[in-house]
């Protein structure tokens, strides 16, 4: 069989004989360099993988912590999510390819090496998924990623009749993955021996250096101990005398005449005084602005409550007037009957037989009372709430059984909702005639009647809801309900707001 170099020379006779071999060697070096860069890039991306980095599964605007930037974060997340820890198997494979190509040894049966890579990865994911999750594993899938979990589950079902457990399947897959990985690397037996010898030599060198360091440390400790021992002996015999740093106390030179201070200031004092005079360190205190007449006049005076004096409740005029109902928003009788017939048709399309016997329009929603045909289950009608909303072009529909009656209530939202004003509730006759001690006006029911409750009959009251659902408005409504009904002598209230904005 003729070599590629000879074929290239035969096709292009004007080329020198060594051109083909030169091109092949350069191509191998370029491929080896590319494989090495891929191995280094994947190693850095996988080693600095952070689940909170921007990726396909995480939509954040934060700067990625991955060493390879945004491409590394996306690549590492995709590999870890799909293959788990088996992703690390790609790094030594590309590193082995780079070493063989740069050493001009070639891969040898390259198609077999390339085919063995996905086989090794798939078998590794199955083997890792059979192992229990590690503490702090950031993914919901197992150590083999989503691919390993799916393959292991399918194989467990396939071999369930043969009493082969998932652990046995994982062990067989791990052994096959090791064989496929060795095949993919393409290293010979002598190269594996050299690699093992290199690791063994490095380990021996580290052990030898460690022993030398320990030996030198022991020698240093022994020498230091001998020096300290001799020093103590010399001090005890009086051979070594430490001279004092200061003179003896009481010498004339050390006396200071306090009564006669020096008339000539020192150079340091002159410089310091001149600096203080020119550039003072402490700035003068800024005077606070005086209070204006308007602020003093508008300052609220202390509220003095005299006992026994009659109090006047707050007038209703300080509240916003009740808005007029929009004529287009109030459904008329014809439109209500038309909606009732349409609702019956929608229910009939879903196999529910029945008749709308009564319609109760309200300020926000309208209640349609459905009398189902005999044998119709209530749960079946309740389960059609989303389908009814879609067919009636409504945002949402609530379906429930009305207690004490043989009808099912279907609530549909009105096209235009009526605004419920607090002034209308506080001026109603029901609010004035109620006998509750702490009456609260909460709103209107589905029929438009005021809803009033007694806070004294509630041991505790918890208001919960999402942002913008009306919790603060509800609390303000409760406070005003008490202020418009009770005097300061009748109701003493303490408000605590621990919220910090």
Per-residue three-class SS string for 71-94: HHHHHHHHHHHHHHHHHHHHHHHH
- Residue 168 exposure: Cα atoms within 13 Å on the Cβ side: 8
pLDDT by residue (tens digit) across 27-86?
Answer: 778 887 888 888 898 888 888 888 878 877 776 667 888 888 888 888 888 888 888 888
Percent of all residues in the chain with a pLDDT value above 90, rounded to a whole number: 5
Q: Which two tokens stand for residue 116?
A: 């063995």
5: confidence class by pLDDT, cuts 50, 70, 90: very low
Q: Which of 441, 438, 470, 487 is nearest to 319 (CA)?
A: 441
Mean pLDDT (whole number) for 263-289: 51
Has residue 175 got a pLDDT over 50?
yes
Has residue 430 got a pLDDT over 50?
yes
Q: How far apart are CA 198 and CA 41, in angstroms?
A: 24
Has residue 379 got a pLDDT over 50?
yes
pLDDT by residue (tens digit) across 350-367?
Answer: 888 999 999 888 878 888
Residue with tokens 């459905």: 370
Q: Across all residues in the chain, what is the average pLDDT?
A: 76
H/E stretch holding 213 reads helix 189-237
pLDDT by residue (tens digit) across 223-270?
Answer: 566 666 666 666 555 554 555 545 555 545 544 444 454 455 554 454
Inter-residue contact 93 to 117 (CB < 8 Å): yes
Looking at residue 1, its pLDDT comes to 42
Looking at residue 259, its pLDDT comes to 47
Q: How far apart are CA 102 and CA 26, in angstroms?
A: 9
Has residue 272 got a pLDDT over 50?
no
Q: Which of 90-94, 189-193, 410-414 has the lowest mean pLDDT?
A: 189-193
Total residue count of the chain as it appears in this document? 501
DSSP secondary structure code for residue 245 in this structure: S
CA 307 to chain centre: 57
pLDDT by residue (tens digit) across 308-354?
Answer: 667 778 888 888 887 765 444 556 788 888 889 999 999 998 888 99
Looking at residue 142, its pLDDT comes to 83
pTM of the full predicted structure?
A: 0.38
Q: Which of 38-42, 275-279, 374-378, 481-485 has the lowest mean pLDDT?
A: 275-279
b/e burial code for range 340-368 (CB count within 10 A of at least 16 → b):
beebbebbeeeebebebeebbbbbbbbbb
Beta bridge partners of 365: 413
Q: Which of 30-44, 269-283, 372-386 has the lowest mean pLDDT?
A: 269-283
Inter-residue contact 371 to 353 (CB < 8 Å): no
pLDDT by residue (tens digit) across 463-472?
Answer: 888 888 888 8
Strand arrangement, sheet containing 365-372 = 354-361, 365-372, 408-413, 398-401
pLDDT by residue (tens digit) across 444-488?
Answer: 887 778 889 998 888 788 888 888 888 888 899 999 999 988 888
Inter-residue contact 386 to 375 (CB < 8 Å): no
pLDDT by residue (tens digit) across 178-213?
Answer: 888 888 887 766 666 766 665 565 556 666 666 666
Please name each of the domains of the chain with its CATH number: 4-192 (no CATH), 333-413 (3.30.980.40), 422-483 (no CATH)
Looking at residue 230, its pLDDT comes to 66
Looking at residue 195, its pLDDT comes to 64
| Higher per-residue pLDDT: 257 or 23 | 23
Percent of all residues in the chain with a pLDDT value above 70, rounded to a whole number: 69
* DSSP strands (E only) in 304-392: 354-361, 365-372
Mean pLDDT (whole number) for 295-307: 60
pLDDT by residue (tens digit) across 96-149?
Answer: 888 778 877 777 777 888 888 889 889 998 888 888 888 778 777 888 888 888
Looking at residue 166, its pLDDT comes to 83
């Amino acid at each position: 069989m003729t070599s590629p170099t000879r074929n290239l020379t035969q096709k292009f006779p004007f080329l020198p004989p060594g051109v083909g071999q030169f091109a092949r060697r350069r191509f191998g070096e370029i491929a080896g360099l590319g494989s090495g860069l891929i191995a280094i890039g994947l190693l850095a991306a996988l080693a600095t993988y952070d689940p909170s980095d921007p990726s396909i599964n995480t939509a954040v605007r934060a700067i990625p912590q991955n060493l390879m930037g945004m491409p590394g974060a996306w690549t590492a997340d995709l590999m870890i999510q799909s293959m788990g820890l088996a992703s690390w198997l790609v790094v030594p494979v590309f590193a082995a390819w780079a070493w063989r190509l740069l050493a001009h040894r070639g891969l040898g049966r390259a198609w077999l090496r390339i085919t063995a890579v996905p086989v090794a990865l798939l078998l590794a994911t199955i083997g890792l998924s059979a192992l229990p999750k590690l503490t702090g594993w950031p993914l919901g899938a197992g150590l083999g990623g989503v691919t390993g979990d799916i393959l292991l589950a399918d194989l467990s079902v396939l071999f369930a009749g043969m009493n082969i457990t998932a652990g046995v399947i994982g062990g067989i897959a791990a052994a096959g993955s090791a064989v496929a990985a060795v095949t993919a690397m393409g290293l010979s037996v002598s190269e594996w021996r050299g690699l093992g010898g290199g690791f063994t030599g490095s380990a021996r060198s580290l052990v030898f250096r460690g022993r030398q360091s320990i030996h030198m440390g022991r020698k240093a400790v022994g020498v230091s101990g001998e020096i300290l021992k001799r020093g103590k002996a010399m001090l005890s015999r009086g051979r070594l005398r430490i001279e004092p740093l200061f003179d003896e106390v009481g010498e004339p030179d050390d006396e200071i005449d306090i009564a006669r201070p020096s008339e000539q200031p020192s150079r340091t004092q002159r410089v310091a005084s001149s600096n203080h005079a020119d550039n003072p360190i402490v700035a003068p205190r800024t005077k606070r602005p005086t209070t204006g007449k308007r602020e003093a006049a508008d300052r609220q005076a202390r509220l003095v409550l005299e006992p026994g004096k009659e109090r006047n409740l707050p007038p209703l005029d300080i509240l916003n007037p009740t808005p007029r109902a929009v004529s287009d928003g109030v459904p008329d009788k014809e439109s209500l009957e038309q909606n009732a017939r349409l609702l019956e048709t929608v229910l009939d399309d879903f196999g529910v037989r029945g008749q709308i016997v009564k319609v109760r329009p309200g300020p926000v929603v309208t209640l349609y009372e459905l009398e189902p045909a005999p044998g119709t289950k209530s749960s079946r009608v309740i389960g059609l709430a989303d389908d009814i909303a879609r067919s009636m072009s409504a945002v949402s529909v609530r379906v429930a059984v009305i207690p004490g009656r043989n009808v099912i209530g279907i609530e549909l939202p009105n096209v235009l909702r009526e605004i419920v004003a607090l002034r209308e509730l506080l001026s109603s006759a029901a609010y004035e005639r109620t006998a509750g001690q702490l009456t609260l006006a909460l709103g209107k029911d589905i029929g438009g009647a005021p809803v009033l409750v007694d806070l004294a009959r509630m041991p505790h009251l918890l208001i919960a809801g999402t942002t913008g659902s009306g919790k603060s408005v509800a609390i303000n409504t409760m406070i005003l309900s008490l202020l418009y009904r009770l005097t300061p002598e009748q109701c003493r209230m303490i408000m605590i707001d621990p919220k910090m904005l």
